[in-house]
Structure 1
Amino acid sequence: MSGAAPMWLMVPVFLLQALVTLGRWMLVNDTRADRLINRASTFSAVCVFSALLDTDLAADGYASKVFLVCGALALASVYGLAELFDGAEPAAVRRRQWAYDVLAVSGSVALLAGEGLAAPATWWRTALWVAIFQLPMAAAGVRTVRACLREMPRTRSRLERIAYSALLVTAAYWCVAALFAAATSVFDGVAYPTKWTVTSCLVYLFVAMLTAVPLVRALGARSGLDYTGRQLRTLHPLWRDLTAAVPEVVLRPAAGRITEPDSRLYRMVVETRDALQHLRMYMPGSDSGELGIAAYARRIAQAVDAKAAGAAPSVERAARENRYAGQDLDAELGHLLELAKAWPGAVSEPARANRR
C-alpha cells in the first residue's frame, strides 16, 4: 500500500479538480450523464478539501464526517453514471438516483451515530461500511468495464478508443481495489480511511483529466479554436457573399439562434449549396483551358456580379454546372471548403478588374 500523499501533491490535484468541476457545471451540463459526472466531481472535490483540512480522517472530527457523507454521495452518483453508461433507461436512472442518494446519506449517518468513526468495529458497522462504499464502487466498475468492452469495437476514432481504454483500466482498478478493501474490512474489521494515499491521489488526478476532456472540447467550441470552429471561419467569407447575393436561401431558425458549432456549420453548408444552385443560372460558360477550383471560384464571382447587374437567368446554363455537388454532407463540405479557400482570390480587386 502506498504512503500518505504529500501536501504538495494534494493541493494541485484539488485545485485542478475544482477548476474542472466549475468549468463543467458552466459548459458541460446538458445531458443526464453530464450532470451525474458533475455531481460526483463536486462531492469528490469536497472530500478532498476535507482531507486537506484534516489529514487524520480516522479521528471523529468535522472533516471526517464531511468526507464520509460526501464520499458516499459521490459513489452513489458514480454508480448511477455507470448504470446509465451500461445502457439503462435515463428516466429510470433518474428515478433510482434519489434512492441511491437516500441510502448513501442514511448509511453514512448510521456510521456517524454514537461515537462515530471513533467507535469500535462491530459486525453491523463493517457490513454497512462495505455496503455503502466498497460494493457500489465494485458494481460501478463491473458495469463500466462491460460497457467499455461493448462500445470499443464500434468506435472509429482513435481518440475514442484511447478514451475507452483509459476508462476501462480505471474501472477495472476501481473494481479490484473495492473488492480488496471489502475483504480487508470483513477479515480485519472496519477499515475507515485514515489517509489519502499517493495511489488514490494519482487515480483521482487521472479521473479528473478524463472528465476534463469534454470541457476542453467545449472551450474549443466556444472560442472557435476546435476543428469545427476552423471550418466555420474558412467557410464564412464564401457563405457571407453568396447568401448576400441570394438572400432567399437563408434559413431562419424557428426558435432562437443556432448556437451549437455543428448546427451552424450544417446550416452554412446547406445555405451555401442552395445559393450555388441558384447562381448556376447566371454562370458564364467555361473555357476549355480553365480547369480547377480557382477557375470555378472566378466563374461563381462572375455569376454574383451578373445577378447583381440584372442579367437574365438561364436554366440551360444551370443544367451544365453540377460538378461540385457532393453526394453526402462530408463530401459537400470538403468541396465547399476548397472553394472557400479559393474565394478571396476570385473576389479580389485584380480579379474584378479582369471581369470588367
Structure 2
Amino acid sequence: MTALTAGAFLRLHAMSGAAPMWLMVPVFGLQVAVTAGRWSLVNETPADRLINRALSFSAVCVFAALWDTDLSADGYPSRVFLVCGVLALTSVYGLAELFDGADPAAVRRRQWGYDGFAVSGAGLLLLGDGLAAPANWWRTLLWVAVFQLPMAGAGVRTMRACLREMPRASSRLERIAYSALMVTAAYWCGAALFAVAISVLRGVTYPTEWTVASCLVYLFVTLLTAVPLVRAVGVYSGLDRTGRELRTLRPLWRDLTTAVPEVVLPATGRITEPDSRLYRMVVESRDALQQLRMYMPRDDSGELGIAAYSRRIAQAVDAKAAGVAPSAELAAGENPYAGEDVDAELGHLLELARAWPGGVSEPARANRR
C-alpha cells in the first residue's frame, strides 16, 4: 500500500511562491538517498520497481530544475525535465493501476505502452522552440494529455483503491497510511486541474514553477517511500525484531542441532530471508528438543521453571554425547513447554534461549558447529 505513495513527482502547481534553494536542495538530497537505498534493498516486486523508477525520473527532473531554474527557456535542462517528467508520471499511473487491481503479470507490457505514448507526446512538445514556444491550442491539449490526465487518472484510481481497502484495514496505523495516501491522491487531482486552469487562463502551456507547497508535498511523499527502506535496513542489519530474535535463538539452536544433527533440514540454497531463517531454526530446535527428551534424566526434585528445564535439556545434550541409551518412555512423557503453533514455539524457545548460556558442558560445546 505504501507503494502508491511513490510517485509524487507532483510538481509545481500551487498558489504559493517559488521554493527557495535552501528547501529544494535538502529535499533533493534526501530523495536521491532514498532512491539509491530503495534500488539496493527494496526492489523485489513490480510495485517496488515502479516506485523506484518514478523516484529516479523525478530526481532527474529536480536536478534539471536546480541546474536551470528558468525551465521555460528552451535548452538541455528543460528537455530533460520534460522527458523524465512524463516517464515519472507514467510510472505513477502504472503504480496506481496496479494498486487498483490490475494484473501484475502484465505490468511490463502496459508500461511500455504508457512510456511510448508519453515520450511521443513529449517529443512533439519539444519540436520547434520546445518549452520556449508560445502556447497554442494543440500544445496545450498535448500538455494536458501527457501530463495532467495521467496525474489526475492516478489520483482517481488511487482514491478508489483506498476507499475499497480502508474498511479492510486491520490496524490504526494502516488506516492512517491509507488516509495519507488519499490526501496525496487528492493533491494529484487538484494539481492537475489547477495546472489546466493556469494553462488556459494565463496562456502558458507549461507551468513549471517549483512552489513551496509542491516541494513540501514532494518531501512528504519521499518520506513515505522511505518507510519500506527503513524496514529493509533494519532487516539487513539485524536490528529489527526478527533480527533480534535470530540472535537470541542462535546459541540454543547451534547447541541443539549439534547434539541432534539429524533434525537439520536439507539445504535448499542460501536462505537470506530473515523470517525464513527464523522459521527453520524454530522447526529444527523444536525437533531437536523432542529427540533430546529421550536422554533427559528423571526429575525427582519437583523443581519447576524454565531455568530447571534448561538444565535438564543441557544434561540431555551431555548424556547423548556420552553415549547414554535413549529412553522411549521419557520421550513419551508430557512436555509442559510445548507450543500449540509456531508463534508459541518461538516464544518458548526464546525464553529457553535466555536461560541457556552456560548450561551445556564444555565437552558438548567443543563439538558444536
> TM-score normalized by structure 2?
0.90
Query: CA 1:207–1:50 in 2, change beyond 3 Å: closer, same or farther?
Result: same
Aligned residue number for residue 264 of structure 1? 277
Aligned residue number for residue 128 of structure 1? 142
Aligned residue number for residue 349 of structure 2? 336
Aligned residue number for residue 89 of structure 1? 103
The answer to whether structure 1 residue 11 and structure 2 residue 12 are counterparts is no
Residues 280 and 321 in structure 1, CA contact (< 8 A), matched pair in contact too: no
State the Cα distance separating 1:288 from its structure 2 match.
Answer: 5.6
Superposition CA RMSD, Å: 1.7
- Tell me the amino acid that sits aligned with residue 309 of structure 1: A
Aligned residue number for residue 46 of structure 1? 60
- Give the Cα–Cα distance (whole angstroms) in 1 for the partners of residues 21 and 322 of structure 2: 73
Q: State the SS of the aligned residue for 2:26.
A: helix
Query: CA 1:253–1:157 in 2, change beyond 3 Å: closer, same or farther?
Result: farther
Residue 102 of structure 1: which of 116, 119, 133 is its match?
116
Aligned residue number for residue 212 of structure 1? 226
Q: Which deviates further from its counterpart, 333-342 or 39-48?
A: 333-342
State the Cα distance separating 1:271 from its structure 2 match.
Answer: 0.6
- Tell me the amino acid that sits aligned with residue 286 of structure 2: R
Residue 275 of structure 1: which of 265, 283, 288 is its match?
288
State the Cα distance separating 1:345 from its structure 2 match.
Answer: 4.9
After the TM superposition, list the runs of 4 or more consecutive aligned residues in structure 1 that deviate by more than 6 angstroms. none
- Give the Cα–Cα distance (whole angstroms) in 2 for the partners of residues 330 and 243 of structure 1: 20
Residues 136 and 205 in structure 2, CA contact (< 8 A), matched pair in contact too: no
Residue 194 of structure 2: which of 158, 171, 180 is its match?
180
State the Cα distance separating 1:9 from its structure 2 match.
Answer: 0.8
- Tell me the amino acid that sits aligned with residue 56 of structure 1: D
- Tell me the amino acid that sits aligned with residue 285 of structure 2: T
State the Cα distance separating 1:212 from its structure 2 match.
Answer: 1.0
Residues 199 and 207 in structure 2, CA contact (< 8 A), matched pair in contact too: no
Residue 80 of structure 2: which of 66, 69, 75 is its match?
66
State the Cα distance separating 1:186 from its structure 2 match.
Answer: 3.9
Residue 246 of structure 2: which of 224, 232, 243 is its match?
232
The answer to whether structure 1 residue 193 and structure 2 residue 204 are counterparts is no
Residues 28 and 62 in structure 2, CA contact (< 8 A), matched pair in contact too: yes
Residue 323 of structure 1: which of 336, 340, 358 is its match?
336
Aligned residue number for residue 216 of structure 2? 202
Residue by residue, what CA displacement relative to the aligned partner does 1:215-256 show, whole Å, maximum 9, x if unpaired?
1111111110111100100111110100010011112322x2
Residues 130 and 185 in structure 1, CA contact (< 8 A), matched pair in contact too: no
- Give the Cα–Cα distance (whole angstroms) in 2 for the partners of residues 89 and 288 of structure 1: 63
> Gaps (5+ residues) in structure 2?
1-14
Residue by residue, what CA displacement relative to the aligned partner does 1:159-206 show, whole Å, maximum 9, x if unpaired?
433333322221121122212322433454344133211111111111
Q: Which has the higher contact order (CA 8 A, sep 6+)?
A: 2
> Gaps (5+ residues) in structure 1?
none
- Tell me the amino acid that sits aligned with residue 290 of structure 1: E
Residues 295 and 324 in structure 2, CA contact (< 8 A), matched pair in contact too: yes
Aligned residue number for residue 47 of structure 2? 33
- Tell me the amino acid that sits aligned with residue 101 of structure 1: D
Q: State the SS of the aligned residue for 2:332.
A: helix
- Give the Cα–Cα distance (whole angstroms) in 1 for the partners of residues 260 and 360 of structure 2: 16
Residues 325 and 332 in structure 1, CA contact (< 8 A), matched pair in contact too: yes
Q: State the SS of the aligned residue for 2:94.
A: helix
State the Cα distance separating 1:86 from its structure 2 match.
Answer: 1.1
Q: Quick one: percent identity of the two aligned structures? A: 81
- Give the Cα–Cα distance (whole angstroms) in 2 for the partners of residues 160 and 238 of structure 1: 36
Residues 242 and 304 in structure 1, CA contact (< 8 A), matched pair in contact too: yes
- Give the Cα–Cα distance (whole angstroms) in 1 for the partners of residues 172 and 308 of structure 2: 37
Q: State the SS of the aligned residue for 1:344.
A: coil
State the Cα distance separating 1:348 from its structure 2 match.
Answer: 7.4
Query: CA 1:143–1:253 in 2, change beyond 3 Å: closer, same or farther?
Result: farther
Q: State the SS of the aligned residue for 1:179.
A: helix
Query: CA 1:287–1:140 in 2, change beyond 3 Å: closer, same or farther?
Result: farther
> TM-score normalized by structure 1?
0.93
Query: CA 1:241–1:346 in 2, change beyond 3 Å: closer, same or farther?
Result: same
- Give the Cα–Cα distance (whole angstroms) in 2 for the partners of residues 94 and 137 of structure 1: 19
- Give the Cα–Cα distance (whole angstroms) in 1 for the partners of residues 300 and 36 of structure 2: 60
Residue by residue, what CA displacement relative to the aligned partner does 1:86-123 show, whole Å, maximum 9, x if unpaired?
11101222211001001111111111111211222111
Query: CA 1:153–1:342 in 2, change beyond 3 Å: closer, same or farther?
Result: farther
- Tell me the amino acid that sits aligned with residue 301 of structure 1: A
Residue 55 of structure 1: which of 38, 57, 69 is its match?
69
- Give the Cα–Cα distance (whole angstroms) in 2 for the partners of residues 348 and 210 of structure 1: 50
State the Cα distance separating 1:290 from its structure 2 match.
Answer: 1.1
State the Cα distance separating 1:127 from its structure 2 match.
Answer: 1.1
Q: State the SS of the aligned residue for 2:285.
A: helix
- Tell me the amino acid that sits aligned with residue 185 of structure 2: A
- Give the Cα–Cα distance (whole angstroms) in 2 for the partners of residues 193 and 12 of structure 1: 23
- Give the Cα–Cα distance (whole angstroms) in 2 for the partners of residues 162 and 291 of structure 1: 46
Q: Which deviates further from its counterpart, 46-55 or 276-285?
A: 276-285
Residues 280 and 303 in structure 1, CA contact (< 8 A), matched pair in contact too: yes
